[in-house]
């Protein structure tokens, strides 16, 4: 057997059994090894951004990493933007990047590049494999790091380490270090501060704190102390809907965010960062909390967040307190909008018709700003979203979620400008017959940038600004585009048409795209 076989075996012994791939010549031995492992599910993306975005969506829903197969430095470069999003979501991921044979690097062949240099900015762990026997340890370390940091790991696989022989060995699952528990002294101090600040305190949470159980526990703490609870502006995954905590997130528009946090004098971080503006604006602050707000860290990113919340609840004797902020179900048979379609109507229809246990992949950007709040009262679902601001994550996220959860409906809320970044992902949805409904908000513009231009004082656009911010000449035909890649599709210009298409898409299995012209 060779190093590539060992690579596959090390993944499989650790229950990593999905590989999103876009291979090249230097990975042929890896492909051949995968071919000998039918228990590994290999999913092809026609562009590397699809591959890592799908791996991100997969791990967010499967709670275990997928592997990816990427080709040399430039192939990995194409994957970096969605690695960035995954890194920001702290998604476990094992990227395997093929490289030239070790002895070939000296020749500076055309595809040679500084893979480590490219990988580090978007990885939490980078490791170059030194020889065939090093493949197993390297993949084991990456697996453990992906779950214990947690985060994005990148392993560089020289071709001769893949094709070189290794001794047969009996493999055992890799030991993953336990996540760090909360310091009891810290817990006691924070409990005291929460009691003191009452309604002027807030928890800021992300990561595994946003699953149903820990969120409910946090809501018991809030009921016991008067504190509020927020999610970060962007989060990897939130379990939500009626009967669960209606968790407000920090809004993107800076004035709204400042308003939301203006009365918070104590902010307790649970895996989250201090909230800051997505961008700087002239004359506005960078941090979204006021200067006098105290910041206390209950648990850092990568710590045992649910455990920390439970410990805090125990300290406050809050386990038996009824949780605050539990969302009620929306009234059944809510009226659906009618008439000319707009973004808000699309959001209302989707949230009203949302099927129980579905997964929402949100890259709706400006069009879907009201959507998150509307879904508080929808049937229970998972909400995963663009995390790092690198657009082009939505279509791939939906791929990964659907691969991880084949029995659940995945609904992609997709801005048109962002969707074009990784539009190739539609083909993978067709190829794998994934149960994804993609809703395209076809406003035919980078709408968010129109707002940002106004924010810098430009209201009348000339030719060059129009050329750079509008997508309307020619208008993209999303129905034809989807069909060209094997995805059935329809176009809606009225709310009634959208409702009909959306109901139809929900009633069938397999990918469907709706172009919502707004």
The interface with a second copy within residues 297-336 (CB under 8 A) comprises none
Helix (H, G, I), strand (E, B) or coil at 509: coil
Stretch that binds a second copy, among 134-142, 263-271, 300-308, 480-488 (CB under 8 A): 480-488
> Which residue lies nearer to a second copy by CB, 73 or 323?
73
- Give min distance, CB of 335 to a second copy, in A: 34
Residue from 1, 12, 13, 44 in contact with a second copy (CB under 8 A): 44
Is residue 387 a contact residue for a second copy (CB under 8 A)? yes
- Give min distance, CB of 231 to a second copy, in A: 14
Partners of residue 157 on adjacent β-strands: 98
Taking Cα atoms as reference points, which of 184, 193, 182, 218 lies closest to residue 203? 218
- Give min distance, CB of 465 to a second copy, in A: 4
Residue from 123, 153, 174, 234 in contact with a second copy (CB under 8 A): 234
Partners of residue 358 on adjacent β-strands: 381
Which residue is associated with the tokens 């993107």?
252
* Cβ neighbours for 108, distance < 8 A, ≥ 6 positions apart: none
The interface with a second copy within residues 399-458 (CB under 8 A) comprises 417, 420-421, 423-424, 427, 430-431, 446, 448-449, 452-453, 455-458
The interface with a second copy within residues 49-108 (CB under 8 A) comprises 49, 69, 72-75, 77-78, 80-81, 84-85, 88, 100-101, 103-104, 106-108
- Give min distance, CB of 174 to a second copy, in A: 23
Q: Do 305 and 207 form a contact (C-beta atoms < 8 A)?
A: yes
Is residue 120 a contact residue for a second copy (CB under 8 A)? yes
> Which residue lies nearer to a second copy by CB, 206 or 348?
206
Residue from 169, 171, 322, 480 in contact with a second copy (CB under 8 A): 480
Residue from 392, 394, 412, 490 in contact with a second copy (CB under 8 A): 392
> Which residue lies nearer to a second copy by CB, 106 or 333?
106
Half-sphere exposure of 486 (CA within 13 A, CB side): 12
Q: Is the dihedral of CA 228, 233, 237, 240 positive or negative?
A: positive
How crowded is residue 126: how many other Cβ atoms within 10 Å of its Cβ?
21
Which residue is associated with the tokens 């390297």?
138
Residue from 180, 186, 211, 287 in contact with a second copy (CB under 8 A): 287
| Torsion angles phi and psi, residue 495, rounded to 5 | -65, -35
Cα–Cα distances (Å) from 137 to 159, 269, 310, 373, in that order, read: 17, 35, 35, 45
Residue from 170, 172, 282, 407 in contact with a second copy (CB under 8 A): 282
> Which residue lies nearer to a second copy by CB, 234 or 358?
234
Q: What is the total count of residues that contact a second copy (CB under 8 A)?
A: 109
Residue from 10, 26, 225, 358 in contact with a second copy (CB under 8 A): 26
Residues in the chain: 518
The C-alpha atoms of residue 435 and residue 405 are separated, in whole angstroms, by 9
The interface with a second copy within residues 133-192 (CB under 8 A) comprises 159-160, 163
The C-alpha atoms of residue 295 and residue 99 are separated, in whole angstroms, by 45
How crowded is residue 122: how many other Cβ atoms within 10 Å of its Cβ?
25
Stretch that binds a second copy, among 20-28, 297-305, 353-361, 362-370 (CB under 8 A): 20-28
Stretch that binds a second copy, among 40-48, 127-135, 191-199, 203-211 (CB under 8 A): 40-48
Paired sense of beta strands 238-240 and 381-385, if any: antiparallel
Is residue 378 a contact residue for a second copy (CB under 8 A)? no
The C-alpha atoms of residue 447 and residue 270 are separated, in whole angstroms, by 33
Is residue 503 a contact residue for a second copy (CB under 8 A)? no
Residue from 317, 338, 340, 467 in contact with a second copy (CB under 8 A): 467
Is residue 271 a contact residue for a second copy (CB under 8 A)? no
Residue from 36, 503, 508, 509 in contact with a second copy (CB under 8 A): 36
- Secondary structure in 3-state letters for 10-56: HHHHCCCCEEEECCCHHHHHHHHHHHCCCCCEEEECCCHHHHHHHHH
Q: Do 493 and 501 form a contact (C-beta atoms < 8 A)?
A: no
Partners of residue 513 on adjacent β-strands: 438, 489
């Amino acid at each position: 057997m060779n190093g590539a076989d060992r690579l596959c075996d090390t993944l499989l012994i650790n229950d990593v059994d999905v590989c999103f791939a876009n291979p090249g010549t230097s990975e042929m031995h890896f492909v051949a090894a995968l071919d000998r492992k039918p228990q590994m599910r290999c999913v092809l993306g026609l562009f590397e951004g699809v591959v890592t975005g799908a791996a991100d969506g997969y791990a967010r829903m499967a709670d275990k990493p997928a592997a990816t197969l990427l080709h040399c430095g430039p192939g990995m470069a194409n994957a970096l933007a969605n690695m960035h999003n995954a890194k920001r979501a702290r998604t476990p991921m094992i990227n395997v990047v093929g490289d030239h044979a070790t002895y070939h690097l000296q020749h500076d062949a055309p595809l040679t590049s500084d893979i480590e240099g490219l990988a580090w900015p978007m990885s939490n762990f980078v490791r170059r494999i030194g020889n065939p026997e090093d493949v197993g340890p390297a993949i084991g370390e990456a697996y453990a790091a992906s779950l214990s940091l947690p985060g994005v790991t990148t392993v560089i696989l020289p071709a001769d380490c893949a094709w070189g022989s290794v001794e047969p060995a009996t493999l055992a699952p890799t030991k993953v270090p336990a996540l760090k528990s909360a310091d009891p002294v810290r817990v006691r101090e924070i409990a005291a501060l929460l009691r003191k600040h009452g309604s002027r305190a807030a928890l800021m949470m992300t990561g595994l704190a946003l699953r149903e159980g820990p969120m409910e526990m946090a809501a018991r703490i809030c009921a016991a102390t008067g504190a509020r609870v927020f999610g970060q502006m962007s989060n990897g995954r939130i379990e939500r809907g009626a009967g669960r905590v209606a968790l407000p997130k920090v809004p993107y528009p800076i004035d709204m965010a400042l308003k939301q946090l203006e009365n918070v004098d104590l902010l307790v971080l649970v895996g989250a960062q201090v909230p800051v503006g997505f961008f700087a604006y002239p004359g506005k602050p960078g941090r979204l909390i006021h200067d006098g707000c105290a910041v206390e860290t209950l648990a850092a990113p990568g710590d045992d967040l649910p455990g920390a919340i439970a410990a805090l609840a125990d300290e406050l004797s809050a386990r038996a307190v009824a949780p605050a902020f539990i969302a009620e179900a929306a009234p059944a048979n809510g009226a659906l909008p009618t008439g000319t379609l707009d973004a808000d109507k699309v959001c209302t229809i989707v949230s009203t018709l949302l099927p129980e246990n579905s997964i929402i992949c949100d890259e709706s950007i400006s069009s879907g700003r009201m959507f998150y709040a509307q879904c508080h009262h929808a049937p229970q679902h998972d909400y995963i979203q663009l995390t790092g601001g690198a657009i082009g994550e939505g279509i791939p996220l939906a791929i990964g979620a659907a691969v991880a959860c084949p029995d659940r409906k995945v609904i992609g809320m997709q801005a048109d400008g962002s969707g074009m970044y990784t539009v190739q992902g539609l083909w993978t949805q067709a190829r794998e017959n994934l149960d994804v409904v993609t809703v395209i908000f076809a406003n035919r513009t980078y709408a968010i940038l129109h707002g940002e231009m106004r924010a810098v004082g430009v209201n009348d656009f000339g030719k060059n600004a129009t050329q750079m911010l509008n997508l309307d000449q020619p208008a993209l035909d999303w129905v034809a585009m989807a069909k060209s890649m094997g995805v059935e599709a329809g176009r809606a210009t009225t709310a009634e048409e959208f409702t009909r298409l959306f109901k139809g898409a929900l009633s069938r299995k397999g990918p469907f795209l709706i172009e919502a012209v707004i």
